[in-house]
Amino acid sequence: MNIEEALKIDNAYLAGEYDVAVVGAGHAGCEAAHACAAMGLRTILFTLHLDSLANLPCNPSIGGTAKGQIVREVDALGGIMGKVADDCLIQMRMLNRTKGPAVHSPRAQMDRSKYSVMMKKFLEDTENLDIRQGHVTALLASDNGDGTYKATGVMTESKAVYSAKAVVICSGTYMEARTIRGEVIMESGPDGLPRSVGLSESLSGYNIPILRFKTGTPVRVNANSVDFSVMEVQEGEHDVPPFSFENEMNGRGVPEEQTPCYSVWTTPETREVIFDNMDRSPLYSGVIKGTGPRYCPSIEDKFVKFKDKTRHQIFVEPMGSNTREMYLQGFSTSLPEDVQVRMVHSLPGLGKAVIQRSAYAIEYDLIEPTTLKRSLESKIVSGLFTAGQINGSSGYEEAAGQGIVAGINAGRYVQGRDAVIIDRSQGYIGVLVDDLVTKGTNEPYRMMTSRAEYRLFLRYDNADMRLTPVGHEVGLISDERYEAFVRKYDAIRSERERLGRTYVGPTLELEKILISAGSTLPPSGISLAELLRRPDVTYEMLAPIDPKRPELTRDICKEVETDIKYEGYLKLEEEKIKKFIKLEKKAIPSDTDYSKITGLRLEARQKLDRMKPESVGQASRISGVSPADISVLLVYLESIKGGADV
């Protein structure tokens, strides 16, 4: 349905004209809308319920392994998740401190309601951005007559028609959602919120394939009814930088006063309750048909699939500063309410726990992500972008990462500029997007550091180095912030060089330092950089023998240390990245007729024709395309270029 047809419907009216319409105000939608508005485009952001904007309906935390890196990347691009999270965190930790800098991952517990309120205010104060509570039921697009379409706007339940040059859909778990709690099945979004009806059918009408996934969330209990004395306490840490680089550069730390989390283990009774009631589990009785994630199984799933594990760990996390609600991480279930009560009461310290919200599973519609380009624009409907769970991902951070990519590219589309692609060597965001659009997914996709092949390079501390130039280029990073960024990396570079050319003799003082690090004195003079490469020798440790050391901020010292310590490995990784980029840069024309390329195997021909990869690099990651097929493709591309140049 195009705009003209929509306006002919009874009671339909033209409610507004925008550059970009963003549907859904979760973590993806908020980033997308903010990015478009900040790029100077007239933007409208729709939400089903204004009070649940940027909701954290599952665990009340942001960050963690791989996810913490994504939050930093979003911030480095000029996004907002990190900034709002810094304002709302009640506990901060750096995970994996002992496991090497590449996997250091910041994670924070959020004050859930504050996060929603602060995000709402942030967006309300954003220029060029209108926020509207409304139920979008249709995508409007004109037919190109060749099986493709062009997005022109959206229409709401009340027949309000909004024209838009680009549309970004971030429908989260809301499209045709239903929640399941044992025998109780509700047509509802998460937290009892209204669901989205009709939009999925509208997308399907443009021949966009629709899939269905499932996820779940655990019970919430009242802290006053919990005996924390039997639980292991997990305190927050203070020696952690904030999420936002801007806050870090301004010297802001994390709050002095933080709220603890707790952990307990399930008991034999928990297991017994679950197995006794397995016949009432909708997961096993076949009521739930959507595909659930393996990394986020319900507790009954864990007991069934890992039979030899007799107990599982449960984390008890606060939901905020102004509430007693606690979240039981690791205890998600779709068993009936009465079973849930007995399960919770079987846990140490929770014997008398008062349940405030039940656990439930939720099923929702999404689109087939392999129908997207790496810009997150649909290959079928131009000007339509999608981000977050609608693309098959899971997680707030994964949503935000896609949101900012979709927002930037919707903006670029309206501006008539080339799309901005973040590749696998530039960030976890690049890995996430590439995996989704190239390989697709058959379960909600969670980011893991193991998915990134250039992990040593994709660190939380250098996310700005990787992505702030991109953010500046597209107009999301101010000149002022960019200049500060340039100064930071100038300082890093000159300090690295200084350490490389500053030599120290084998003095007693040095020996003392080295012995304390379990190392030995070198026979002759040695550079500070060389010393730093030794395991267990830190930058800080060398201060007494390095009197000419300049005054540098902590983040700079840390990055200098990592760069030097890992120099050899980083160089190897850079070599690999260079090779990777070479193939990524070999573009494949979108009108390539694979049936005309001799030498391609049939399977490769079919897959390539269906996926229409944008580069040779992307083609090489499609399953069923062999290295020989890639060679053939390279030769073909050379031949159509009409000349050899290497």
Partner 1 sequence: MEPFCALSTPAGVSGIAVIRASGEGVSLKASKALKILRTTGDRTEAALTDLKGYESAYARFIDPSDNRTIDDVVVTFFEGPHSYTGEDMIEISCHGGQAVRQEILRVLNELGIRPAEPGEFTKTAFINGKLDLTEAEAVMNVISADSSRALEASNSQLMGSLKLKISEAEDMLYKALSSIEMMIEFPEHDDTPENTKTVEDMIEGVKDLFDSLARSYGRGRLLTERMKVAILGLPNSGKSTLLNFLAGYSRAIVTDVPGTTRDMLEYNTEIEGVPVTFVDTAGIRETDDEIEAMGVKLARIAASEADLILYLIAPETSYGDVTSTIEGLEPSKLKVIFTKSDIGDNPSKDEIVNMLKERGVDGTASISVKADANTDIIGRFVKDTYEKAGGLNASDITVLGARHAELLRSASGKLSEALGIIRDGIGVDVCSQVIRSALDDSGQITGRVVSDELVETIFSRFCIGK
Give Rg (Cα) of the chain. 26
SS3 64: coil
Q: How far is the CB of 530 from partner 1 (least distance, A)?
A: 15
Interface of this chain with partner 1, residues 244 to 283, rule: CB under 8 A? 263
Q: How far is the CB of 62 from partner 1 (least distance, A)?
A: 13
Transcribe 439-450 into DSSP letters. Answer: I--SS-B---GG
Question: Around Cβ 511, how many Cβ atoms within 10 Å?
Answer: 14
Closer residue to partner 1 (CB): 408 or 564: 564
For 191: left if phi > 0, alpha if psi spans -120 to 50, otherwise beta; the answer is left
- Point out which span in 134-142, 275-283, 309-317, 385-393 binds partner 1 (CB under 8 A): 309-317
Is position 241 an interface residue for partner 1 (rule: CB under 8 A)?
no
Is position 593 an interface residue for partner 1 (rule: CB under 8 A)?
no
Q: How far is the CB of 399 from partner 1 (least distance, A)?
A: 16
Rounded to whole angstroms, the Cα distance separating 350 from 98 reads 32
Q: How far is the CB of 401 from partner 1 (least distance, A)?
A: 17
Contact 351, 227 (CB under 8 A): yes
- Point out which span in 68-76, 240-248, 252-260, 634-642 binds partner 1 (CB under 8 A): 634-642
Closer residue to partner 1 (CB): 94 or 197: 94
Closer residue to partner 1 (CB): 101 or 134: 101
Is position 585 an interface residue for partner 1 (rule: CB under 8 A)?
no
Is position 230 an interface residue for partner 1 (rule: CB under 8 A)?
no
Among 315, 385, 413, 539, binds partner 1 (CB under 8 A): 315
Q: Which of 212, 170, 221, 164 is nearest to 14 (CA)?
A: 164
Is position 600 an interface residue for partner 1 (rule: CB under 8 A)?
yes
Q: Which of 51, 90, 44, 94 is nearest to 71 (CA)?
A: 94
Closer residue to partner 1 (CB): 307 or 548: 307
Tokens coding 293: 């994630």
In a 13 Å sphere around the CA of 495, the CA atoms on its Cβ side amount to 25
Interface of this chain with partner 1, residues 332 to 391, rule: CB under 8 A? 332
Q: How far is the CB of 578 from partner 1 (least distance, A)?
A: 12
Sign of the Cα torsion 345, 351, 352, 356 reads negative
The residues pairing with 503 across neighbouring beta strands, listed in sequence order, are 527
Phi, psi of 56 (to 5 degrees): -115, 75
Is position 631 an interface residue for partner 1 (rule: CB under 8 A)?
yes
Among 63, 293, 403, 617, binds partner 1 (CB under 8 A): 293
Transcribe 387-405 into DSSP letters. Answer: -GGGGTB-SHHHHHHHHHH
- Point out which span in 57-65, 174-182, 465-473, 491-499 binds partner 1 (CB under 8 A): 57-65
Is position 646 an interface residue for partner 1 (rule: CB under 8 A)?
yes
Is position 583 an interface residue for partner 1 (rule: CB under 8 A)?
no
Among 147, 286, 416, 535, binds partner 1 (CB under 8 A): 535
Interface of this chain with partner 1, residues 471 to 500, rule: CB under 8 A? none
Is position 49 an interface residue for partner 1 (rule: CB under 8 A)?
no
SS3 151: strand
Phi, psi of 225 (to 5 degrees): -100, 10
Is position 626 an interface residue for partner 1 (rule: CB under 8 A)?
yes
Q: How far is the CB of 643 from partner 1 (least distance, A)?
A: 7
Long-range contacts of 566-573 (CB under 8 A, 24+ apart): 566/101, 566/102, 566/456, 567/533, 569/456, 570/456, 570/457, 573/454, 573/456, 573/457
Closer residue to partner 1 (CB): 70 or 140: 70
Is position 566 an interface residue for partner 1 (rule: CB under 8 A)?
yes
Is position 595 an interface residue for partner 1 (rule: CB under 8 A)?
no
Is position 601 an interface residue for partner 1 (rule: CB under 8 A)?
yes
Closer residue to partner 1 (CB): 331 or 385: 331
Contacting residues for 529 by C-beta, under 8 A, at least 6 apart: 496, 499, 500, 564
Q: How far is the CB of 426 from partner 1 (least distance, A)?
A: 17
Closer residue to partner 1 (CB): 234 or 538: 234
Tokens coding 259: 């709220």
- Point out which span in 44-52, 377-385, 463-471, 592-600 binds partner 1 (CB under 8 A): 592-600
Is position 309 an interface residue for partner 1 (rule: CB under 8 A)?
yes
Contact 404, 32 (CB under 8 A): yes
* 600: exposed, middle or buried (Cβ count in 10 Å: 0-12, 13-18, 19+): buried
Closer residue to partner 1 (CB): 52 or 105: 105
- Point out which span in 37-45, 186-194, 349-357, 599-607 binds partner 1 (CB under 8 A): 599-607
Q: How far is the CB of 535 from partner 1 (least distance, A)?
A: 5
Q: Which of 641, 593, 61 is nearest to 327 (CA)?
A: 61
Interface of this chain with partner 1, residues 73 to 112, rule: CB under 8 A? 95-96, 99-103
Is position 233 an interface residue for partner 1 (rule: CB under 8 A)?
no
Q: Which of 348, 342, 372 is nearest to 219 (CA)?
A: 342
Interface of this chain with partner 1, residues 432 to 461, rule: CB under 8 A? 439, 448-451, 453, 455-456
If binding means CB under 8 A, how many residues of this protein chain bind partner 1?
A: 64
The residues pairing with 23 across neighbouring beta strands, listed in sequence order, are 46, 169
Among 13, 275, 295, 503, binds partner 1 (CB under 8 A): 295
Tokens coding 443: 């379960």
Contact 241, 82 (CB under 8 A): no
Rounded to whole angstroms, the Cα distance separating 123 from 126 reads 5
Contacting residues for 611 by C-beta, under 8 A, at least 6 apart: 370, 438, 619, 622
Rounded to whole angstroms, the Cα distance separating 404 from 470 reads 12
Q: How far is the CB of 112 from partner 1 (least distance, A)?
A: 15
Pairing state between β 43-47 and 129-133:
parallel
**Chain residues that interact with partner 1, rule: CB under 8 A:** 58-59, 65-66, 95-96, 99-103, 218, 234, 263, 293-297, 302, 305-306, 309, 312-313, 315, 329-330, 332, 439, 448-451, 453, 455-456, 535-536, 566, 569, 572-573, 597-601, 623, 626-628, 631-632, 634-636, 638-639, 642-646
